[in-house]
Structure 1
Amino acid sequence: MSVRTGVPSMKRIAEAHDRPRFKCWRCNDGATRLERAHAVPSMLGGSDSDPSNYALLCPQCHVDAPDILDGKAFWRWVEHGSVVVEMWDSFRSSALLEATAIKGEDWVVAQFDNMYRMAIFDATGLHEGINPATRSWAMYSAARIVLAMAAPTPATQW
């Protein structure tokens, strides 16, 4: 097993966030073994040495965590879990319905497919595979872009 240099201790991570060191920050399980989970994975530009880029999670929550470029979305998931995933899914559905009403189903399907692929390949990490939270966030992100393309606000028009 290789050891990465510069990775902060669990104590330092907990102190940086003023959070407990012996409980999973997501499910509050008093797991005997916690893991350091990146908010933004290093492969997507996140820091390996900054304690604020880590959460302490039990092994199951670490596997379930979204592996994404959006650090704010990661922290929302830590705080609210499945509720955030449900909100991402709900927004995706309503955004795609609205875009379909404006541009038509064929246009939306093509654009959504392209934006989803971009989100998966450019804004997610793949070290744990594509888990449901990562997939949901990528679909939410793609739907946000498709809706903005279908109905740009005056501020975004040239």
Structure 2
Amino acid sequence: METTHREIVNYWIGHQSECGLSVDWREAEKLCWRCAHKRMLQRCHIIPRSLGGDESPSNLVLLCAQCHAEAPNVNDPEFMWVWLRAHAVSFYGTYWLERGIREYEFVYGEKPFSGLTNTDELMKKVMDVAQQIFQKTSTHWGQGKINPATWAWVFRQIDEEARETID
């Protein structure tokens, strides 16, 4: 019989602190333990079956499909927790937005909105542009969220429009 999500959460409640994770144990059956998005969760092996991992709750965490695909495949059970905590965000729902900012910095070699001063006029322009820009985006089928590359593009469009307003 397959280990249930409830069995996995119940095990880790008694064996791992939720401190530094993206979710707290009350919501661990609903939210991905890495990105904290409410998505269909998969049972992810801490030690992969190919490396001798089993199906016990002590060898499983709950991740969305995208985070599961990026999870470590190593025979080191502590590294899963290091990895999960390294990706933790302070606010639910901001993980992929923060990844988009890092993607922007990687692609463009600078932080979005560098050198712009936060004014009411700028914020109004940003909101107006964002509303228009999001109409030109979509999500990959089955993901239900904007990916980092799309966020980077959105930030770039808003950044360019904001700079034109100021100039």
With the shorter chain as reference, the TM-score category is 0.3 to 0.5
Q: Which has the larger radius of gyration?
A: 2
Q: Greater relative contact order: 1 or 2 (C-alpha under 8 angstroms, separation 6 or more)?
A: 1
Question: Normalized against structure 1, the TM-score is what?
Answer: 0.45
